[in-house]
Amino acid sequence: MALKNAYLIDLMKTVEARNPNDKQFLITVRSVLESIEPVVEARPELIEKGVLDLFVEPERIVKFRVSWTDDAGKVHVNRGYRVQSNSAIGPYKGGLRLHPSVTEDTVKFLAFEQTLKNSLTTLPIGGGKGGSDFDPKGKSEREVLAFCQNFMRELYRHIGASTDIPAGDIGVGGREIGFLFGQYKKIVNSYDSVLTGKGVNWGGSLIRPEATGYGCVYFASEMLNTRGNELAGKRVLISGSGNVAQYAAEKATQLGAKVLSLSDSNGTIIDPDGISAEKLSFIKELKNVRRGRIREYAAAYPRAEYHEGKRPWQLAACDVALPCATQNELDLDDAKTLVANGCIAVCEGANMPTTLDATAYIQGHGLLFSPGKASNAGGVATSGLEMSQNAIRLNWNQSEVDKRLHDIMISIHAATRAAATEFGEPDNYVMGANIAGFRKVADTMIDLGI
């Protein structure tokens, strides 16, 4: 699909000129503009009032030096980022990513996506994202602590409980959130609800660790229901073995599906018997406590096979694919194999794991496809619930939070489908999510005065 509206074509040229090196950001902006083109055509005031010109430019980008010393006393320098994309409907909110691949482009595209995702959650939260090219892998706990403390020493100036509330993402789990929060609290001398994903002893919400993975599976179930289908009995391929993948596997198994794979950045395991709850406990201990590699699963469960350097999609046939690792991890060749093997639904747990040509192929062959901004929004939604609990200084129990999460995922699915149906393509969840997310932000921008 190419842009046809002259105003949007010009706008895209401006975005390209302003961000010449931000490849992923440009891909993301273009794909969103393509989706919302029918709304722009129907509502000329969006152009007259300059809503789109503002929407494609982050409100603020903060880029800073982070220095820390390793265990041998050597000084290292990394780059830290926080992109505050849009605060129309609430304070900026979005994760922090620690991975050597992180650049300004990564954080900018993720913050842009986050604005639409947060809008879909039904909660009053704007969009932001942050991170650093620091690699936590192979670092001692003291080194990770040193990095987190120095990262927060600069970040604290730009965030706040009603300004910007970061959370976890790749490389940032409960341990790192604890180190970051400890430093923030010390600097500002206040127990603010400034981060989510906190431990339950110090302001965290039950079900937050589970939320993204569970939410993704709840969304997949809703999609399957639209075709009179259900998850029970389905073969599921999942990529990744981190936070999102683990809990997507847990919920899919609880709902009666057979999870055949998990992976990490080194390779994939395929278990033809399915990854049961007991096997998943092994994975959680392996990845979260021992910080080991997925290949060790095959040594523990000999009927499983380990494939070095491979992603799951071409290794076994499945009914449902849940990419839950990272961006661009499911490409056109993978999509062709999924279609040829009879897959019926692809539901993104990660952010933009499916390349655009793969997405087009999957949609073009009649499979159900949901973009991460809709199907992985359960994480940020439950972060929003954590903020609510902090604000009223109460903790809801597990089933209460899970019920709210489930209801939110049902609402996101319904809103996405309704917007797609309104514009004549009921199964187009990409279009539906972009339109539903965008309209709320755009209307608020107009209400607040451009």
Q: Which is nearer to ligand NDP, 46 or 352 (CB)?
A: 352
Residue positions counted in the chain: 450
Q: How many CA atoms lie within 13 A of 157 on its CB side?
A: 8
305-308 β-sheet, strand order: 261-263, 267-270, 305-308
Q: Are the C-beta atoms of residues 367 and 397 closer than 8 Å to each other?
A: no
For residue 95, give the nearest of 165, 169, 181, 149 by alpha carbon. 169
Count CB neighbours of 118 within 10 A: 32
SS3 68: strand
Q: Which is nearer to ligand NDP, 40 or 216 (CB)?
A: 216
Question: How buried is 290 (Cβ within 10 angstroms: 0-12 exposed, 13-18 middle, 19+ buried)?
Answer: exposed
Q: Which is nearer to ligand NDP, 106 or 428 (CB)?
A: 106
Question: How buried is 255 (Cβ within 10 angstroms: 0-12 exposed, 13-18 middle, 19+ buried)?
Answer: middle
Count CB neighbours of 56 within 10 A: 18
Q: Which is nearer to ligand NDP, 130 or 171 (CB)?
A: 171
Active site residue 108: no
Please state the closest distance from residue 74 (CB atom) to ligand NDP, in A.
Answer: 24
Catalytic residue of the set 93, 129, 234, 258: 129
Q: Which is nearer to ligand NDP, 143 or 264 (CB)?
A: 264
Please state the closest distance from residue 106 (CB atom) to ligand NDP, in A.
Answer: 10
Please state the closest distance from residue 39 (CB atom) to ligand NDP, in A.
Answer: 25
CA distance 8 to 155: 35
**What single-letter amino acid sits at 190?**
S
Q: Which is nearer to ligand NDP, 178 or 240 (CB)?
A: 240
Q: Which is nearer to ligand NDP, 19 or 376 (CB)?
A: 376
Please state the closest distance from residue 177 (CB atom) to ligand NDP, in A.
Answer: 11
For residue 166, give the nearest of 122, 205, 217, 111 by alpha carbon. 111
Which residues in this chain contact ligand NDP in the complex, by CB under 6 A?
168-171, 212, 240-245, 264-266, 324-326, 329, 349-351, 376, 379
User: Two tokens at 391?
Assistant: 């604000």
Residues in CB range of 56: below 8 A, 6 or more apart: 11, 15, 29, 33, 112
Q: Which is nearer to ligand NDP, 243 or 359 (CB)?
A: 243
CA distance 346 to 338: 9
For residue 294, give the nearest of 266, 275, 323, 260 by alpha carbon. 266
Q: How many CA atoms lie within 13 A of 249 on its CB side?
A: 29
For residue 236, give the nearest of 319, 162, 154 by alpha carbon. 319
Please state the closest distance from residue 169 (CB atom) to ligand NDP, in A.
Answer: 5
Residue 27 CA to chain centroid, in angstroms?
17
Q: Which is nearer to ligand NDP, 95 or 432 (CB)?
A: 95
SS3 166: strand
Region of residue 235 (left: phi > 0; alpha: psi -120 to 50; beta: else): beta
Please state the closest distance from residue 145 (CB atom) to ligand NDP, in A.
Answer: 18
Helix (H), strand (E) at residue 410: helix 398-422
Torsion of CA 380, 263, 206, 167, to 10 degrees: -40
Q: Give residue for tokens 């972009």.
A: 434
CA distance 31 to 326: 18
Question: What amino acid positions are annotated as catalytic residues?
Answer: 129
